[in-house]
């Protein structure tokens, strides 16, 4: 059957790809566009490893059909750094060792950025609730929360 032609914006750049009608946006980003930052963990919207932002909304790309992206503005973890300059969240995750195996990290970074975009100075409880949709199998939550706090501080001081 014929494939669907999708035209959208990804990380600020115009993008287009072909996908199947029933392909998830996660699979299309990884397999058609070549952006492999978003990961498939559960495939059911529970773990957040596939988190992206579409038209300003944080969501699980495993629960989105790829054709829905037509005309939309998508942000993925690949768009967070500016050239070689890491985003403060990425820098703080690195410095604070807020990752162990790393599979959940792109999703946590995207979700944490969405949280800070909405609430630049969250307290610990707000961070924990804000990241409740992201699971870390290595259970490194404490360092992740500290890294988000440090990044918020860095961003608010600059």
* Interface with other proteins (CB under 8 A): 1, 4, 20-24, 43-46, 48, 51, 57-60, 62-65, 67-68, 70, 111, 114-115, 129-130, 132-134
| β-pair partners for 10 | 13, 74
Q: How many CA atoms lie within 13 A of 22 on its CB side?
A: 1
What is the nearest approach in angstroms of other proteins to the Cβ of residue 83? 28
Q: Cβ neighbours of residue 157 under 8 Å, at least 6 residues apart?
A: none
Three-class SS state of 14: strand
In the chain, alpha helices (H): 25-27, 88-95, 105-118, 124-130, 141-157
Minimal distance, residue 44 CB to other proteins, in Å: 4
CB of 27 to other proteins, least distance (A): 9
Identity of the residue, 46 or 95, whose beta carbon is nearer to other proteins in the bound complex? 46
Q: How far is the CB of 90 from other proteins (least distance, A)?
A: 20
Q: Which is nearer to other proteins, 61 or 90 (CB)?
A: 61
């Amino acid at each position: 059957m014929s494939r669907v032609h999708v035209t959208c914006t990804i990380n600020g750049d115009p993008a287009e790809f072909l996908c199947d009608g029933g392909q998830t946006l996660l699979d299309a980003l990884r397999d058609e566009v070549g952006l492999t930052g978003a990961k498939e963990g559960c495939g059911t919207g529970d773990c957040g490893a596939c988190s992206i932002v579409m038209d300003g909304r944080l969501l699980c790309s495993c629960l989105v059909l790829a054709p829905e992206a037509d005309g939309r503005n998508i942000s993925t973890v690949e768009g967070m750094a500016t050239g070689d300059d890491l985003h403060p969240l990425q820098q703080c995750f690195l410095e604070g060792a807020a990752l162990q195996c790393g599979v959940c990290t792109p999703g946590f970074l995207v979700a944490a950025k969405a949280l800070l975009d909405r609430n630049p100075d969250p307290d610990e409880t707000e961070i924990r609730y804000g990241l409740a949709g992201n699971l870390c199998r290595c259970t490194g939550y404490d360092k992740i929360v500290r890294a988000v706090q440090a990044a918020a501080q860095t961003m608010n001081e600059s």
